[in-house]
Amino acid sequence: MKDGSDFVQPPWVYSPSEVMSWINATNPPHKLRKFKAEKGKKKRCLKNIEIELDLDVEREKIDSSVFLISKIRELTGFEKVEEHFELLPTAELMLRALAKAKFHNVVKIVLDGKTLYENPEKGHDTMECINLLSEIANRTKEGKNIRLRVKKKEDCLCDIMIQRIHPRKRHTVEIKFKGELEEEYFHRFLNYLKNNLSIRDIKTSENN
């Protein structure tokens, strides 16, 4: 949909294909391969969205010391890779992107299986958690994976997993929105990521 200029208007009366076209038109360097999402009960809402993305960073294969195991993993896509990016600053960017979409209640943060923060009832603690991650990042560059769980009032829950070390067939970042999310806020979140992360590939799909 166009308004006479080069800017493509968001398709508030939309089909999934129209939404995908709008996202691609507003962010041409990062084409979506696929878009599916349920229409929410509320107008202009999407429901149960999943996003998988890979960062445009150097990655290194981790070989097993046993040749046969290494070969089987390679053939099945389960060979491990290590990606060279800073885990905690990336998690900070995710929290900032969620804040753009009005997700202000950080429920839980888990780093390498260890709980760093858990306060599901506090609310409006996004900046506090960003500062926490920044402090930890100043002390260490370590970390294999981090999981974030953030809530938007009672409407929607977002789970994010970021992995530096993972099987090749998995993605660097896996994002799941559970519940209904206004389409405007979904695009705010997605656009913030595209503007602030070096993304190699991104896929959005429906979670039935």
What is the rounded radius of gyration, in angstroms, for the C-alpha atoms of the chain? 18
CA distance linking residue 70 with residue 64, whole number of Å = 5
Quick check: 97 pLDDT over 90? yes
**Closest among 20, 18, 1 to 9, alpha carbons compared:** 1
Task: Select the more confidently predicted residue: 71 or 34.
Answer: 71
Quick check: 1 pLDDT over 60? no
Report yes or no on 88 lying in a domain. yes
Give residue-wise pLDDT tens across range 68-82: 555 655 666 567 888
Report yes or no on 85 lying in a domain. yes
CA distance linking residue 185 with residue 46, whole number of Å = 10
Report yes or no on 12 lying in a domain. no
Domain residue limits at 149: 36-206
* 0.85 surpassed by pTM: no
CA distances from 172 to 25, 53, 83, 147, 167 (A): 24, 6, 8, 12, 10
Q: How many domains does the chain have?
A: 1
Report yes or no on 189 lying in a domain. yes
Task: Select the more confidently predicted residue: 12 or 132.
Answer: 132
**Closest among 116, 119, 112 to 151, alpha carbons compared:** 119
Report yes or no on 14 lying in a domain. no
Report yes or no on 17 lying in a domain. no
Candidate ranges 35-39, 70-74, 174-178; pick with highest mean pLDDT: 174-178
Report yes or no on 116 lying in a domain. yes
**Contact at 8 Å (CB) between 34 and 59?**
no
Residue 98 structure tokens: 């969620």
Report yes or no on 28 lying in a domain. no
pLDDT of residue 198: 87
Quick check: 3 pLDDT over 80? no
